[in-house]
Amino acid sequence: METSPLAPEILFFIGPVGIDRAVVTTWVIMLLLLALSAVAMRHGRARAGALQSAFEILVDSISKQIEEVMRRDPWPFMPLLGTLFIFLAVANMAAIIPGGKPPTSHLETPAALAVIVFFSVHYYGIKTKGLRRYLRHYLEPNPFMLPLTVLSELTRIFSLMVRLFGNMMSHEFIIAIILFLAGLFLPIPFLLLGILVGLIQAYIFTILAAVYIGAAVGSIEA
């Protein structure tokens, strides 16, 4: 019996719950990033080593980009947005590894990230403006616009999920076709293209999340 190429690849079961490849890959990536961060910053020094310097440059670059987008102090948002970018950049580039499958090419991972962004938008909005003031903006400029405002909140998060999933899934299919045709002699330019696509998708997802949060806290005009 043929299965859909979009069906999850179940690796093992925990009781009745099937654990698929995307979940396992996601957890492996998270553990690797945690371990690398711990090693890099275990002995934070004024004269940083190569790994610590690389992390500091990466974090500083992300914070500057977020500051340019949100036009306010980026550091309250860095735990979310910085982590999003780094995780997505690493996860997306799994496509360039022969046999590797980025978890973002499976719908559940982009959906989970989009849900995190959705709730984070409202969290930061309420935290910055207060509950009453934040909810009031849904009634502006006219209370009759409330259904459309709520619908726009839902659709933009849905589009965030679909954009990442669609781009990474199609990219994975292209890489798979090229690997099938070229085997292990895959040309270097296609590997570089895979890295570029992964970084671009991570950047777009993170910037859109920053824009949504910026609109919620009032630093960006909605």
- Please state the pTM of the whole predicted model: 0.84
Q: Where are the domains of the chain?
A: 48-217
**Alpha helices, H only, the chain:** 21-41, 50-70, 78-92, 108-129, 131-136, 146-182, 188-217
pLDDT at 48: 65
Report the Cα 103 to chain-centroid distance in Å: 11
C-alpha–C-alpha distance, residues 48 and 54, integer Å: 9
The C-alpha angle with vertex 179 and arms to 194 and 192, in degrees rounded to 5, equals 20
**Mean pLDDT of the chain, nearest integer:** 82
Coil vs helix vs strand at 18: strand
How many other β-carbons are positioned within 10 Å of the β-carbon of residue 213? 26
- Chain segment 134-153, per-residue pLDDT in tens: 888 777 777 777 888 888 88
Angle 118-37-27 (CA atoms, 0-180°, nearest 5)? 55
Residue 3 has pLDDT above 60, yes or no: no
Distance, in Å, from the CA atom of 165 to the CA atom of 192, rounded to the nearest integer, reads 20
The listed range with the strongest mean pLDDT (23-37, 51-65, 73-87, 123-137) is 73-87
Bridge partners for 19 per DSSP: 12
Alpha carbon distance 23, 180 (integer Å): 25
**What does residue 13 show for φ and ψ, rounded to 5 degrees?**
-120, 140
- Who contacts 163 (Cβ-Cβ below 8 Å, separation ≥6)? 204, 205
The whole-number pLDDT of residue 123 equals 93
User: Is 80 exceeded by the pLDDT of residue 54?
Assistant: yes
Judged by phi (left if over 0) then psi (alpha if -120 to 50, else beta), residue 177 lies in: alpha
Confidence at residue 197, expressed as pLDDT on a 0 to 100 scale = 84
Residues 150/138, Cβ–Cβ less than 8 Å: yes
In this structure, of 47-51, 55-59, 101-105, 209-213, the range with the lowest mean pLDDT score is 47-51
Question: Average pLDDT in the 191-206 region?
Answer: 86
